[in-house]
Structure 1
């Protein structure tokens, strides 16, 4: 009965951690949708895309039901005319297909600002900004009405040259946003440079992580309780 009890406790712990993670992620998504006031306008580029995609307006975001889960995801983000001066806090909108950052005086846009935005296919920027990932990362770049429009994100794994030799043996190249790629272990391989063969020992890893977390939490609670002064 003890092994069964341990498995039940581990499953419960994983469920609690998963719920906490989802709640935290949803709150973060909500924050990116309220970076500035108002809502997506119907006549804007994001608004038209949202209407054609049967999405729902949520502040400055357009959301749509995920085909593989019950959770809605952000497919459009309209931060035009929002007094944005830098771009490095949009990770919660990494599922967006279209993003509008026009009419902002952006003075700093990190090279990794759109790392992980694998589905981004259309982005509107102020004219003086370059497309993320550079010109070679997009099928089309145009100047329209004082804005720079980057359309059609290219798959960096399909580029010619030496990209095929970047990923180690037993791994596959996968796109990871404009100008980025990542190496993912092939099936039945895991670990450093995908050198370990077999299934990843998730139960053992999570169980050890849970034990370490509980021990550290108990240690910190005891030490802080000793330092606390009585009222």
Structure 2
């Protein structure tokens, strides 16, 4: 074999493993890994369609650390561990069977969902959770024994807004602490109010007239 042939044979392996030839292979490998990672998202991240809103607390938390990434409804680290979960406005009545996948989350947002039942056991094992945002139906304080004892004997507890209650007199009772029995007389009320107003008006008129004569 000639010297030129031997030289070409020796040069061939160097061209195959040159830095320029490695770059396309590395790019292709990264592309495959990124696709596999996207396809391997936990089910809880794609349980609800859409993505995390930019102004949500989960997005703000995720954007604070460069190593974290937003994918679908999750904030993940480079290992794929869920650190944030945003399921806002997903029409959920319960978190669903895949919710335990987010047990590593630091922040979870469940606002704008009609969640039902007691969620206490739902978060069992969520030892890293620091922020939980939920918006549920108004709590009826009248279901608490301590609050119902605030109402008088002839009254009953009724909700009066978020975190508020009122005591409603039973039928046939009215007045302070529902102690007066019988219907409330509107005729008597307006009669007393009218006579009082007339007396005060007459007194003021007479006083002002005297001052006018004196001047």
Higher strand share: 1
Same fold (TM over 0.5): no
Q: Radius of gyration: which is bigger? A: 2
TM-score, length-scaled by structure 2: 0.43
Higher helix share: 2
